[in-house]
Chain A
Amino acid sequence: MHNKTVSELKKDLKNKKISSVELTNHFVDRIKSIDSQLNSFISLTEEYAIAQAKKIDLEISKGKIRPLAGIPLAQKDIFCTKGLRTTCGSKMLENFISPYDATVVEKLNDAGMVIIGKTNMDEFAMGSSNETSYFGDVKNPWNTEYVPGGSSGGSAASVAARLIPCSTGTDTGGSIRQPASLTGVCGIKPTYGRVSRYGMIAFASSLDQAGVFTRTAEDCAILLTHISGYDPKDSTSSRKNVPDYEKECKQKFTSMTIGIPVEFLEDLDDTVKEVFEENIKVLEKNGCKFKKISLKSSKLGVSAYQVVAPAECSSNLSRFDGVRFGHRANNAKNIDDLYKKSRSEGFGQEVKRRILIGTYALSAGYYDAYYLKAQKIRQVISNEFAAAFKEVDLILGPTAPDCAFKIGEKVNDPIAMYLSDVFTVSTNLAGLPAMSLPMGFKNSLPLGLQIIGNHFDEAKILSLAHHYQQITDWHTKKPKVSGD
Chain B
Amino acid sequence: MWESVIGLEIHVQLNTKSKIFSPASTSFGAPQNTQACAIDLGMPGVLPVLNEEAVIMAVKFGIAVGSKILDNSIFARKNYFYPDLPKGYQISQYEIPIVSGGTMEIITNGKSKIINLTRAHLEEDAGKSIHDLYPNESAIDLNRAGTPLIEIVSEPEMENAEEAVQYLKNIHSLVRYLGISDGNMQEGSFRCDANISLKKKGSTKLGTRAEIKNINSFKYVESAINHEIERQAVILDRGDSVVQETRLYDPSKDETRSMRSKVEANDYRYFPDPDLLPVSISQDLIKDIKNNMPELPSAKKIRFISQYGLNEYDTVILVSDRELSEYFESTLKDSDLNPKMTANWIITEVLALAKKAYLSVKDYPVSSEDLTYLLLNVTNETISSKQAKDVFERMWDNKENPRDIIENEGMKQISDIGELNKIVDNIIKNNYKSVEEYQSGKDKLLGFFVGQVMKETQGQGNPKIINQLLKEKLKK
Known: A235-B50, A236-B277, A318-B87. A362 touches B271 (CB 8 A): yes
Known: A362-B269, A371-B271. A202 touches B79 (CB 8 A): no
B28 interface contact, C-beta 8 A: no
By DSSP majority rule, is chain B's interface helix, strand, loop, or mixed?
A: loop
The stretch among A96-104, A383-391, A404-412, A463-471 that forms the contact with chain B is A96-104
A324 pairs with B41, CB closer than 8 A: yes
Please report which residues of chain A, range 74-106, place their CB below 8 angstroms from some CB of chain B when the two chains form the complex: 79-80, 86, 88, 93, 96, 98-100, 102
A80 pairs with B274, CB closer than 8 A: no
Query: A45 to B280, alpha carbons, bound, how many Å?
Result: 44
Query: A204 to B35, alpha carbons, bound, how many Å?
Result: 29
Chain A proximity mask over B32-56: 1 for CB below 8 Å, otherwise 0: 0000001001111111111000000
A323 pairs with B43, CB closer than 8 A: no
Q: How far is the CB of B151 from chain A (nearest CB, A)?
A: 20
Known: A315-B79, A319-B88, A321-B81. A235 touches B276 (CB 8 A): yes
Task: Please tell me which one of the listed residues B41, B44, B79, B83 contacts residue A93 in the complex, with CB atoms under 8 A apart.
Answer: B44
Query: A96 to B43, alpha carbons, bound, how many Å?
Result: 10
Q: How far is the CB of B153 from chain A (nearest CB, A)?
A: 20
By DSSP majority rule, is chain A's interface helix, strand, loop, or mixed?
A: loop
Task: Please tell me which one of the listed residues B88, B267, B276 contacts residue A363 in the complex, with CB atoms under 8 A apart.
Answer: B267
Task: Please tell me which one of the listed residues A88, A202, A318 contacts residue B89 in the complex, with CB atoms under 8 A apart.
Answer: A318
B276 proximity list for chain A (CB < 8 A): 235-236
| Chain A to chain B: the 6 pairs with minimum beta-carbon distance, closest first | A318-B88, A206-B274, A362-B269, A205-B274, A199-B45, A319-B42
Task: Please tell me which one of the listed residues B42, B89, B277 contacts residue A324 in the complex, with CB atoms under 8 A apart.
Answer: B42
Query: A206 to B49, alpha carbons, bound, how many Å?
Result: 15
B269 pairs with A359, CB closer than 8 A: yes
B275 pairs with A236, CB closer than 8 A: yes
A319 pairs with B271, CB closer than 8 A: no
Please report which residues of chain A, range 187-208, place their CB below 8 angstroms from some CB of chain B when the two chains form the complex: 197-202, 204-206
30 CB < 8 A contacts A-B: A80-B43, A80-B44, A88-B44, A98-B43, A98-B44, A98-B45, A199-B45, A204-B274, A233-B47, A233-B49, A234-B49, A235-B275, A235-B277, A236-B275, A315-B271, A318-B81, A319-B42, A319-B88, A321-B88, A323-B83, A324-B42, A325-B44, A326-B44, A362-B79, A362-B270, A362-B271, A363-B269, A364-B267, A367-B270, A371-B271
A100 pairs with B38, CB closer than 8 A: yes
A100 pairs with B140, CB closer than 8 A: no
Most buried by B among A96, A319, A363: A319
Query: A317 to B276, alpha carbons, bound, how many Å?
Result: 17
Query: A235 to B271, alpha carbons, bound, how many Å?
Result: 18
A268 interface contact, C-beta 8 A: no
A234 pairs with B47, CB closer than 8 A: yes
B50 proximity list for chain A (CB < 8 A): 235
Q: How far is the CB of B276 from chain A (nearest CB, A)?
A: 6
B89 pairs with A198, CB closer than 8 A: no
A311 interface contact, C-beta 8 A: yes
Please report which residues of chain A, range 162-207, place their CB below 8 angstroms from some CB of chain B when the two chains form the complex: 197-202, 204-206
Q: How far is the CB of A375 from chain B (nearest CB, A)?
A: 9
Known: A202-B45, A232-B49, A235-B47. A315 touches B89 (CB 8 A): yes
In the complex formed, the residue of A with least CB distance to B138 is A335
Q: A235-B275, A311-B271 are in contact. List 20 more A-B contacts (CB 8 A).
A: A80-B44, A80-B45, A88-B44, A93-B44, A102-B45, A199-B45, A202-B44, A233-B49, A234-B47, A315-B88, A317-B88, A321-B83, A321-B88, A324-B41, A324-B42, A326-B44, A339-B81, A362-B269, A362-B270, A363-B269
B179 interface contact, C-beta 8 A: no
B267 proximity list for chain A (CB < 8 A): 363-364
A312 interface contact, C-beta 8 A: yes
Query: A206 to B48, alpha carbons, bound, how many Å?
Result: 14
Query: A280 to B338, alpha carbons, bound, how many Å?
Result: 95
A99 proximity list for chain B (CB < 8 A): 38, 43
Task: Please tell me which one of the listed residues A96, A197, A204 contacts residue B44 in the complex, with CB atoms under 8 A apart.
Answer: A96
Q: How far is the CB of B455 from chain A (nearest CB, A)?
A: 70
Q: How far is the CB of A329 from chain B (nearest CB, A)?
A: 14
Query: A10 to B449, alpha carbons, bound, how many Å?
Result: 106
B47 pairs with A197, CB closer than 8 A: yes
Q: How far is the CB of B46 from chain A (nearest CB, A)?
A: 7
A363 proximity list for chain B (CB < 8 A): 267, 269
Q: How far is the CB of B129 from chain A (nearest CB, A)?
A: 9
B188 interface contact, C-beta 8 A: no
Interface size on A, residues (CB 8 A): 45
Q: How far is the CB of B32 from chain A (nearest CB, A)?
A: 14
Most buried by A among B43, B49, B87, B277: B43
Binding site for B on A (CB under 8 A): 79-80, 86, 88, 93, 96, 98-100, 102, 197-202, 204-206, 232-236, 311-312, 314-315, 317-321, 323-326, 335, 339, 359, 362-364, 367, 371
B66 interface contact, C-beta 8 A: no
B11 interface contact, C-beta 8 A: no
In the complex formed, the residue of B with least CB distance to A101 is B45
Query: A71 to B269, alpha carbons, bound, how many Å?
Result: 46
B86 proximity list for chain A (CB < 8 A): 319, 323-324
In the complex formed, the residue of B with least CB distance to A343 is B81
Query: A100 to B270, alpha carbons, bound, how many Å?
Result: 30
Chain A proximity mask over B76-117: 1 for CB below 8 Å, otherwise 0: 010101010011110000000000000000000000000000
In the complex formed, the residue of A with least CB distance to B267 is A364
Please report which residues of chain B, range 241-280, place their CB below 8 angstroms from some CB of chain A when the two chains form the complex: 267, 269-271, 274-277
Q: How far is the CB of A167 from chain B (nearest CB, A)?
A: 18
A201 pairs with B44, CB closer than 8 A: yes
Q: How far is the CB of A18 from chain B (nearest CB, A)?
A: 34
Query: A80 to B38, alpha carbons, bound, how many Å?
Result: 12
A359 proximity list for chain B (CB < 8 A): 269
Query: A205 to B45, alpha carbons, bound, how many Å?
Result: 10
Query: A439 to B147, alpha carbons, bound, how many Å?
Result: 53
A335 pairs with B83, CB closer than 8 A: yes
B83 pairs with A100, CB closer than 8 A: no
A236 proximity list for chain B (CB < 8 A): 274-277
A232 proximity list for chain B (CB < 8 A): 49
Q: How far is the CB of B140 from chain A (nearest CB, A)?
A: 7
In the complex formed, the residue of B with least CB distance to A88 is B44
Q: How far is the CB of A170 from chain B (nearest CB, A)?
A: 11
B46 proximity list for chain A (CB < 8 A): 198-199
In the complex formed, the residue of B with least CB distance to A196 is B47
Most buried by B among A200, A234, A318, A325: A318
A201 pairs with B45, CB closer than 8 A: yes
Query: A53 to B405, alpha carbons, bound, how many Å?
Result: 76
Q: How far is the CB of B47 from chain A (nearest CB, A)?
A: 5
Known: A205-B274, A235-B277. A198 touches B45 (CB 8 A): yes
A364 proximity list for chain B (CB < 8 A): 267, 269
A324 proximity list for chain B (CB < 8 A): 41-42, 86
Query: A345 to B84, alpha carbons, bound, how many Å?
Result: 22
In the complex formed, the residue of A with least CB distance to B78 is A315
A100 proximity list for chain B (CB < 8 A): 38, 43
